Structure 1
Amino acid sequence: MKARLKNLKDRTITGLYSLGEEIVHGITHGIGAGLSVAGLTLLVVLAVLYGNVCQVVSFSIYGSTLVILYLASTLYHSFQEPGVKRVFKIIDHAAIFLLIAGTYTPFLLVGVRGAWGWTLLIIIWGMAILGVAFKVLFIHRFQKLSVLAYVLMGWVGVVGAKEL
């Protein structure tokens, strides 16, 4: 019982993670952000050298959303002040929608292409924009609906998979 109470006292302001866990999250997600910047740079350089405009744009979008996600998560786990943490939590959770859409972008613009690729791209980015707005307005509410939105966005790929 005493160990459990001590553990609760060690929790950060949010009550979700201990300070040690938050430090580890901040460091590992910071490493992810750095690797994302490296990956973005490599993708764009290779697309510029060997690809076309569509590849440069789509890889830039994908890489940028990956950087945004890891950077937002790093900042969320690095600050303990409640107001700052709340803002970064909103950005962190909203960035998941952006990354899902960003991940689809190269597949739809480079792989699927044409009217079908553009249609799915508009649908997925429309869902992402709605998801970001949802997170900004309702960060602590409707958790199951939020997870459902992530899953539905993930399943959009099944519709376009035949074209790949």
Structure 2
Amino acid sequence: MPRIFQRARDPISSYTHFIGAALSLVGLAAMVIELMLTSEQSPLNAVSCILFCLSLIALYSASGVYHFSRAAANVLVVLRKLDHAMIYVLIAGTYTPLLLTLLPAPHGAVFTAVIWAVALAGIVMKLCWINAPRWLGTTLYLLLGWAIAIDLPALAALPVPAVALLAAGGLLYTAGGLIYMVGRPNLSERFGFHELFHLFVIAGSVCHYFLVLLYIA
């Protein structure tokens, strides 16, 4: 095994999400450029798109650091809590530009506030109960992630390719979540369900990033 892999506690999971963090930084730069070039851009829309990119950076950075670190057990517990909590941040961060753009005021703002309130509750739960059953945490992630189904008519404002990106991202996240929840398949000794879960998360993020970049920003 290459020496750089030996330094990581969980090599594949850490380096795939470090790559995700790096791509998210590039994505943030591209998003800012797109926002600057777009005429009649509202400040609220611009801030929400940047917030989405920052939530991507937060999730992949926290995950990469946690899976890389060989720190003491008490430090790993803190890093694990941050890793799991950032999932809620990304879910809410993804919703923000969609809801504020697609839904009329004040409906969009109210829906966004509700999503962030639920996400905050999830973060508190993770910080206080990190050893909650895997099925419980995954179920809460998925329920929050699919909450947009409550207001399906809002999706009618999006072009068909945008809806396809939104659905593809949601399905990829869901597939990854289910893989994580059931703990399989394990393709090899070094590439198990957790590594596969990480790749599905990255794929879902890519779909939603291009949705925001191409159709929201």
TM-score scaled by length of structure 2: 0.63
Unaligned runs of 5+ in 2: 1-5, 156-217
How many Å separate the matches in 2 of 1:84 and 1:130? 23
Give the structure 1 partner of residue 18 of structure 2. Answer: 30
How many Å separate the matches in 2 of 1:146 and 1:46? 35
The reply on whether 1:108 has 2:99 as its aligned counterpart is yes
Give the structure 2 partner of residue 131 of structure 1. Answer: 122
CA RMSD across the alignment: 1.8
Give how far 1:20 is off: 7.0
Give the structure 1 partner of residue 140 of structure 2. Answer: 149
The reply on whether 1:48 has 2:40 as its aligned counterpart is no
Q: Deviations over 1:8-41 (max 9, x none)?
A: xxxxxxxxxx987712222111110000011112
How many Å separate the matches in 2 of 1:137 and 1:20? 27
Give how far 1:124 is off: 0.5
Give the structure 1 partner of residue 113 of structure 2. Answer: 122
How many Å separate the matches in 1 of 2:10 and 2:85? 20
- Partner secondary structure for residue 80 of structure 1: coil
Alignment coverage as a number of residue pairs: 147
Aligned runs of 1:14-29 on 2, under 5 Å?
22-29=10-17
Give how far 1:147 is off: 2.0
- Partner secondary structure for residue 29 of structure 1: helix
Between structure 1 and structure 2, the one with the greater Rg is 1
How many Å separate the matches in 2 of 1:70 and 1:80? 18
Q: Percent identity?
A: 33
The correspondence for 2:54, drawn from 60, 64, 89, is 64
How many Å separate the matches in 2 of 1:67 and 1:20? 20
Q: RCO greater where, 1 or 2, for CA within 8 Å and sep 6 or more?
A: 2
On the 8 A contact 1:54/1:110 being kept in 2, the answer is no
How many Å separate the matches in 2 of 1:38 and 1:111? 26
Unaligned runs of 5+ in 1: 1-17
